[in-house]
Amino acid sequence: MQARAAIAGDPRFYAASGPLPLSAVAAAAGSPLLAEERLLRGVAPLQTAGPAEVSFLDNPRYLPALEATRAGAVVLRPELAARVPAGTTAIPVPEPYQSWARVAALFHPPPSPRPGIHRTAVIGEGAVVDPSAEIGPLVVIGARAEIGPGCRIGPGAVIGPGVILAAECRIGAHASLSYALLGERVTINPGVRIGQDGFGFAVTELGFLSVPQLGRVVIEHDVEIGANCTIDRGSVQDTLIGAGSRLDNLVQIGHNVRIGRLCVIVSQVGVSGSTIIEDFVMIGGQAGLIGHLHIGKKARIGAQAGVKDDVPAGADVVGTPAEPKHSFFRQVVLLRRLAAGKQAGGGSAGKKAW
């Protein structure tokens, strides 16, 4: 197979709505309508965009690429508009990345569901599937489940008995949902597991005694769950994911955890049971949180941090065990100075110390 040049929005995978007039692209970006008219057929990086494509710049590091671009138009900050080469139209906006998201969605809108139930799907007794929903091949929908308007359920997904999906949910291939209630516009990526038993057991002289997990998973509107995440149902209360929150791939959420609105949790984070995470919290990749913690509003937890204590609202913590960012980096600087001093004073002094 011959190598192909990189294509943004490869038509084999992404439906396209172009070509579109420059004025429509500027309007989607939130920029004043431009008098110049030309047709743009798609989006592309600065380095490869041609005269019929639109690109963007948000990081000054790529200014050389801007000055050499052949793009028909570029979304960027107003103060950089003068750096746009001849033949390229500047689309000035205050927040280029936000505008770029709208422009890219204009050219490549998410696919609409194709209403209907595939002949290989299995629908349980008493389940209700809205006629506008798309149910893919080999999907299993349990008894009494409810699938709302405009939902898309991918191949091989399993929706357990009694599960409720509100309108316009997207369930990826081979995901499984049980004991769960989902709000509107929730996106569940492939391989996600929601509603399985939490890690709860009592220790006895004869071994471990499993504790029944009797709660649910409640996911509010506009949440996105990355591929292969696992979210345990509650033991006696619900596990909750607040509206608008985003979980990256491979995140583990334990039973009874309550996550607030608009939180961001990056890949490979593990949150142990009964931890409360308030609104607007950000947690970096591979961080670990023990159970029964309280993480305050707008706190930020650094990558690979080990969190064993509550984190106050607005605090930044890093390291293992996690501590305030400034304290951690003072210690790092001190250790480096000590290490440098020992190396400089090594040799015979070091030998005498031994």
Phi and psi of 51, rounded to 5°? Answer: -60, -20
Q: Which are the contacts of 266, defined by CB distance < 8 A and separation ≥ 6?
A: 248, 251, 283, 284, 285, 287, 303
Tokens of 16: 């396209």
CA angle, 309 then 261 then 284, to 5°: 50
Catalytic residue, from 174, 221, 255, 326: name it: 255
Q: Which are the contacts of 6, defined by CB distance < 8 A and separation ≥ 6?
A: 45, 48
Assess whether 255 carries a catalytic annotation: yes
Q: Is 112 exposed, middle or buried (0-12, 13-18, 19+ CB in 10 A)?
A: exposed
Letter for the amino acid at 292? Answer: H
3-state secondary structure of 95: coil
What is 180-196 written as a DSSP string?
EEE-TT-EE-TT-EESP
C-alpha to C-alpha distance for 109 and 1, rounded to whole angstroms: 30
Q: Is 103 exposed, middle or buried (0-12, 13-18, 19+ CB in 10 A)?
A: buried
Tokens of 42: 């798609």
**Sign of the alpha-carbon dihedral angle for 79, 84, 86, 87:** negative
For residue 311, the 8-state DSSP code is B
- Residues serving a catalytic function are 255
